[in-house]
Chain A
Amino acid sequence: MATKDKEWISIPMTVDVPYRFAAGGYMTKCLTELRDNGKIFAVECPKCKRVQLPPRVVCAECHVKNEKWVELPHEGTLMNFTIMYLPLTDPTTGKPHEPPFVYGSVRLDGATSVLDHMVEVEPDMDKVWVGMRCRLVLRPKEERIGDLSDIRYIEPLPGQKKPQTKSR
């Protein structure tokens, strides 16, 4: 074990590594539709019928090619969430998300998979719950650049109240 009275040398170092990722065939179609037409496109597996978002060329479960494109609505259900109290660094920008903030997984109606995103709601347990109905809010067309940030956030559909939880 380290002893406190002895000096140990340690050297700080920062490594800044730039990357550029190719979106490939399926993700390019998905991101182009999002940027140019404000549409969310997924693929449906011919075998298990899972509607997969983001779209991928092969259904991982069935090992068959996904060829049917399905347009999804912008509305869905919040499957889970958290109220984050830590200033998480956004790895895509290097800047922290200002806490507290809410994020979670929304399952768009008709999709099997989910989209993890910011939820535009007060960080208050009465304002957000599992099962909450929500919708996507996109950037205005002229600001869209063809990546996931073209979806600004998820917001609750208006006129909902948190259901009373059964006390155990």
Chain B
Amino acid sequence: MKRNVAIIGGGQTYHAARRHDVDQAEMVNEAVRAALKDARMTIDEIDLVILGNMEFFEGVHLTDCWLVHGSGAYGKQGVKITTGGTVGATAVCAGAHHVASGLFDKVLCIGFEKQEEGDTGAILSGVANPLWGRSMAGAAVGYFAMMGSSYIANWGATEEHSAMVAVKARQNARKNKYAHLKLDITIEDALNSRMLAWPIRMLDMCPASNGACAMILADEKTAKARSKKPVWIRAMETAHNEQFELDWRDVKTERLIFSKAAAGRLYRKLGVDDPAKYFDVFEIYEPATWAELIWYEDLGLCGPGEGFRLIEQGKTNIDGPIPVNPSGGVLSTNCIGASAMLRVWEAALQIRGDAGEHQVPKDVRRAMTTAYGGTNWTVMTALSKTLED
């Protein structure tokens, strides 16, 4: 990068299915205030505000204009970003690019979603091509169900394996005071939860949450002067896919799909040979249990078809050798526009040692995060504790 970029502050709201006590601007403001407080800054110091959400989930266009009193963007330079499920990470990525370029020193990035205010399923159908396949595009659950069926048929995993992911996520969420679904569940509970679309049961899917996250990025000089625990953004990668293709719904695909393409480029940039050893913690975007197992494989934490063995062996538990989603992940909290930013923020908290009860019990110097959305694309962000890590 042209200039080094650090995360010098961040914050999030409590996440819940209902937030009638706040409107969109008030909810965004909760996260913005938390981030400014964490960075010991005032909004006057911010040079640029980047705001992102899933377009039209709340039925409002131009949220960057509507929410200025909540975001603090009035009279400032601003950017609006809408890249679907990835948007929170895209906002951080764009913010980091703006700082790295030398044009801005202090950038506020915000991601939010108030899912209760609109019809998520109806708006998501707009992700599909209107002339080819939209009649089947009523909800994300069907997509992840098809992925699960391919995983089971090709790799020989069972519903117990997805149940293990469901349990891990909600048990981790119980340690995260901001998480939405803090459920004390067992494998049996997951296997007995209502079937939505075989092989996806209720507890295999993420909830519809309301919430916001905000992060403040700064250049190296500002970060070192202002922050006791800056967390460094070391690499970012994005990769798009092509509509109408199987990608994750054919686990044996040999194409260099979005997830593998982005991970490969990011690892080459950093000189990563073994990601499971190189990174101390992962925060990944898993809207459904099966997606987590495929992420293990596409990120190279194990070989193809071995993802379900990792969860079976407990390797990705909060106290395991490769902790994945100690926060509870998207399976426990999905306020879509904030979800991908929460991955980066939660990873930063782990590096700072500030994650509280869900802090992983080991020295965390490097973290890796993924985002996921749209018709399959990703934004990946790698963080470190120092510029030498």
Contacts and interface: CB of A to CB of B under 8 A. Distances in A.
Given A130-B150, A168-B158, A82 B122 contact: no
Q: Choose among B132, B158, B246 the residue with the greatest number of A CB atoms under 10 Å from its CB.
A: B132
Contact of A27 (B131, B156, B249): B131
Nearest to B124: A91
Interface of B: 14, 16, 18-21, 59, 121-122, 125-126, 128-139, 141-142, 145-150, 153-154, 156, 158, 194-200, 242, 244-246, 249-250
A8 B249 contact: no
B91 to A, nearest CB: 25
A81 interface: yes
Contact of B135 (A85, A92, A113, A168): A92
A129 B152 CA distance: 11
Contacts of B59: 13, 15
Nearest to A85: B195
Given A80-B149, A80-B249, A103-B142, A91 B134 contact: yes
A143 interface: no
A127 B133 CA distance: 23
A54 B244 contact: yes
A148 B244 contact: no
B153 A131 contact: yes
Nearest to B20: A8
23 contacts: A1-B14, A2-B16, A27-B132, A31-B131, A54-B132, A54-B244, A79-B250, A82-B145, A82-B198, A84-B197, A85-B197, A86-B141, A88-B142, A89-B121, A91-B128, A91-B135, A103-B142, A104-B149, A117-B136, A148-B131, A148-B132, A148-B135, A168-B158
Contacts of A54: 129, 131-132, 244
B150 A21 contact: no
Contact of A113 (B130, B145, B195, B245): B245
A91 B120 CA distance: 12
A105 interface: yes
Interface in A22-51: 23, 27, 31
Interface string A130-168: 110000000000000001110000000000000000101
A90 B197 contact: no
B16 A92 contact: no
Contacts of A105: 146, 246, 249-250
B307 to A, nearest CB: 15
Contact of A116 (B16, B19, B130, B133): B133
Nearest to A94: B122
Contacts of A84: 142, 145, 196-197
Most buried by B among A113, A118, A131: A113
Nearest to A102: B198
A80 B199 CA distance: 11
Most buried by A among B156, B195, B197: B197
A10 B20 contact: yes
